[in-house]
C-alpha cells in the first residue's frame, strides 16, 4: 500500500531476513528502500565483506545454504548467469566473464582472458566486487573505493589472486 511505505519496508526486510539472510548466517546485510518503501534491488545493499562472501558462495552453490537447504530454485541462479541475447557479458544483474565484441583492452568489467568463462560477478559502486568462480570453487570479495582509472590494475590484482586457484 502506497500509504504505508514503512510497513512495506519492514515486510520486505523481515522476509529477506527469514528466507535468505538468516539461513545464510548473514548478520550485517542491510537493504535500502526508496521513499515509497520499494527496495532498490540493483544497488544500495550494504554488508560486510564476510557477508558478501557468504552471498557469493550461496550463488556458487546454485541457491543452497551451507546447511544444504535450497533457498531459491537452482534454475533461477542458472538463469542469473546465462548470457543475455543483447549482451553476452551480462546476465540477471550479474556480470559474466565473457568477451565483449569490439571492446578495447581495459573496457571489460572483468578479465575474460585470465579466468574461466563460468566466472561471474556482482559489481557495486566505485569498484566493489563479489567474484564467483564455480570451476575454481572460490569466491573473492573486494570492498573499497576505486575510480575508473584504478579499476583495471585492481582487476588484474584480483585475477592474480584467482590464478592461485586451479580450475577443477
The pLDDT tens digits for 96-147 are 999 888 888 777 889 998 999 999 999 998 889 999 999 999 999 999 999 9
CA angle 57, 61, 66 (to 5 degrees): 70
pLDDT at 45 over 70: yes
- φ, ψ of residue 129 to 5 degrees: the values are -135, 140
Q: How confident is the model at residue 2 (pLDDT cuts 50, 70, 90)?
A: low
Residue 55 and residue 46: Cα distance in Å, rounded?
Answer: 12
Average pLDDT over residues 36-55: 90
Residue 86 and residue 96: Cα distance in Å, rounded?
Answer: 13
pLDDT at 1 over 60: no
Asked if 130 contacts 53 with a C-beta cutoff of 8 angstroms, the reply is yes
Amino acid at each position: 500500500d502506497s500509504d504505508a511505505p514503512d510497513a512495506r519496508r519492514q515486510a520486505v526486510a523481515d522476509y529477506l531476513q527469514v528466507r535468505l539472510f538468516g539461513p545464510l548466517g548473514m548478520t550485517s546485510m542491510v537493504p535500502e528502500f526508496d521513499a515509497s518503501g520499494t527496495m532498490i534491488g540493483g544497488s544500495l545493499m550494504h554488508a560486510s565483506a564476510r557477508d558478501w562472501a557468504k552471498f557469493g558462495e550461496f550463488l556458487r552453490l546454485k541457491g543452497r545454504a551451507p546447511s544444504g537447504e535450497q533457498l531459491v530454485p537452482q534454475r533461477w541462479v542458472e538463469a542469473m548467469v546465462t548470457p543475455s541475447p543483447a549482451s553476452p557479458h551480462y546476465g540477471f544483474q550479474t556480470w559474466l566473464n565473457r568477451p565483449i565484441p569490439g571492446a578495447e583492452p581495459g573496457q571489460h568489467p572483468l578479465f575474460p582472458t585470465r579466468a574461466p568463462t563460468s566466472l561471474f560477478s556482482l559489481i557495486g559502486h566505485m569498484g566493489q566486487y563479489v567474484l564467483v568462480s564455480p570451476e575454481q570453487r572460490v569466491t573473492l570479495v573486494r570492498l573499497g573505493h576505486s575510480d575508473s582509472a584504478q579499476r583495471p590494475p585492481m582487476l588484474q590484482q584480483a585475477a592474480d589472486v584467482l590464478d592461485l586457484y586451479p580450475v577443477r
